A and B are shown apart, each in its own frame.
Chain A
Amino acid sequence: MDLLDKFDSIVELRSSLPFEKADPFKVVIEEVISETEAIIGGRHTILAGTNNYMGMTFDEGAIEAAKAALDDFGTGTTGSRVLNGTYGGHKALEAAIADFYDMEHCMVFSTGYQANLGMISALGGKDDYVIIDADSHASIYDGCSMGNATIVRFKHNDPENLERRLRRLPEEAGKLLVVEGIYSMLGDAAPLKELLEVGKKYGCMTLVDEAHSMGFCGENGRGVAEQLGVEDLVDFYLGTFSKSVGTVGGFAVSNHPKFDVLRFVSRPYIFTASLPPSVVASATKSIEAIKRSGNRRAHLWENARQLHTGLKSAGFKMCTEQAESPIIAVHLPDVMMGTRFWEQLLIEGVYANMAAPPATPAGMFLLRISVCAQHTSEQIDEIIARFKSTAAAVGLDV
């Protein structure tokens, strides 16, 4: 019995897609010119699908700090956070994030994915309930599978549907409500005030994943909860360094006095090597810089609005009524059009993400753009123009 036979249908589906010149799942970036441009397939390409929202990947301070850390501490820690893998830099980074969120405690994980695995699997015990949004990121679903709690799912961004489910749960049981600030595929913001208020009404502790909102939502860039003024309803924030912060890693912050015990019970925190000192150093510098980046935040939002308005007035079917985040997604009718559009757009010199089920809700095919604060308004105009010429080339009615 060949264990890989069970994936034959996936191989079949992939080979049925009409890619001729490029494959969205096998893109190789050959050279990086800047935060917003690269060479792909030998062509000069505008990067419009990298989640590099704040454009921190070439921040001078972050690069210098990483180089110094490499020289001083070497290439890696070769150990777990709870053994030999905690350096001074890791503690300084945790302090910088706690300060950024104005909270007491922070734990840094090796990836954002692991932060969700580690928090959800540790917080949700055998007799507890974890209540999640139906459109949650895979890391939230996987955190649920990893733990022993009973998992309840409510309709995406629907406080009334959430309340109906919470009402059916035992009053005295432990409950963790998990929501995201911005959902990564459609770029839609969550009605956090209503969701968290319902959660609190039924005795939930709350975890808000601000992976796609940290850096530019709220006055200090803490995310949607700050933007909506509901930070007092959040028990745990979760975030990543792989988007606005421009490197890799994940974190959780909280004011809970017993928070530190999670370091001893969260398996994805313990049973993996800690982040390399250079990554830790650049993340620290980047987060400090983001805190002071009011202008950059403002420009990012201008870019997002310019792109949304431009594509909408060109007749594209937008996933949100207006720009709710720097994620601007366009509906495409089916997988064939999705494939052809994505490929042609790349040939025209714009890299965006083709998003298909199961990453997208309700069988949607999307072209997903993530805007960067370092995009110039000329580049945004260029992206819009190339979307139009791509639509004409592949025969998409707009």
Chain B
Amino acid sequence: MQERASIMAKPETLETIYGLIAPINKKGVELKPSSTFASDLELDSLTVMDLVADIEDEFDIVLPLNMLPDLETIEQVADAVEKIVS
């Protein structure tokens, strides 16, 4: 995966993603850029794949399955989305 040192996701991108996670955040975990899907949100890989589909449709982009292993936190997803959109 490419370096992602200086990319900072925009607040509106993060907010949009928080909105998509809300319905599957069954435990009501507080959402932060650093929240991880597996440990913090306790989402299984299938649920994460479905979330990715929602994100794809919301931003009208393709987030290939190949990228998934590198997307562990909300911020990483937001960065990836912005990179594809731009």
Answer yes or no: do A and B interact: yes
Instruction: Give the interface of A toward B (CB within 8 A).
Output: 134, 144, 150-155, 161, 164-165, 168-169, 357-358, 361-363
Kindly list chain B residues whose C-beta atoms are within 8 Å of the C-beta of A362. 46
Kindly list chain B residues whose C-beta atoms are within 8 Å of the C-beta of A155. 53
Write the chain B residue with the least CB distance to A150. B64
B34 at the A interface (CB under 8 A): no
Say whether B46 contacts A361, CB under 8 Å: yes
Kindly list chain B residues whose C-beta atoms are within 8 Å of the C-beta of A154. 53
CA distance A152 to B63 in the complex (A): 7
Task: Return A145 CB to nearest CB of chain B, in Å.
Answer: 9
Partner of B64, one of A151, A161, A361, A363: A151
Given contacts A134-B53, A153-B53, contact A168 B46 (CB under 8 A): no
Kindly list chain A residues whose C-beta atoms are within 8 Å of the C-beta of B61. 168
Say what secondary structure dominates the interface of chain B.
Answer: helix
Task: Return B43 CB to nearest CB of chain A, in Å.
Answer: 11
Say whether B60 contacts A152, CB under 8 Å: no
Partner of B65, one of A152, A164, A168, A169: A152
Write the chain A residue with the least CB distance to B61. A168
Task: Return B62 CB to nearest CB of chain A, in Å.
Answer: 5
Write the chain A residue with the least CB distance to B64. A150
Say whether B44 contacts A357, CB under 8 Å: yes
CA distance A362 to B49 in the complex (A): 11
Given contacts A134-B53, A164-B57, A165-B56, contact A152 B46 (CB under 8 A): no
**Across the A-B interface, how many residue pairs have beta carbons closer than 8 Å?**
36
Identify which of A144, A152, A153 gathers the most chain B CB atoms within 10 Å of its CB: A153
Write the chain B residue with the least CB distance to A147. B66
B16 at the A interface (CB under 8 A): no
Partner of B49, one of A153, A161, A357: A153
Contact mask B33-55 → A, CB, 8 Å, 1/0? Answer: 00000000000111001100100
CA distance A165 to B64 in the complex (A): 10
Write the chain A residue with the least CB distance to B60. A168
Task: Return B6 CB to nearest CB of chain A, in Å.
Answer: 25
Say whether A150 contacts B66, CB under 8 Å: yes
Say whether B62 contacts A358, CB under 8 Å: no
CA distance A165 to B54 in the complex (A): 12
Say whether B44 contacts A152, CB under 8 Å: no
Say whether A144 contacts B62, CB under 8 Å: no
CA distance A40 to B46 in the complex (A): 34
Write the chain A residue with the least CB distance to B47. A363
Partner of A358, one of B46, B53, B60, B64: B46
Say whether B65 contacts A358, CB under 8 Å: no
Say whether A358 contacts B66, CB under 8 Å: no
CA distance A363 to B43 in the complex (A): 11
CA distance A161 to B49 in the complex (A): 14
Say whether B49 contacts A168, CB under 8 Å: no
Kindly list chain B residues whose C-beta atoms are within 8 Å of the C-beta of A161. 53
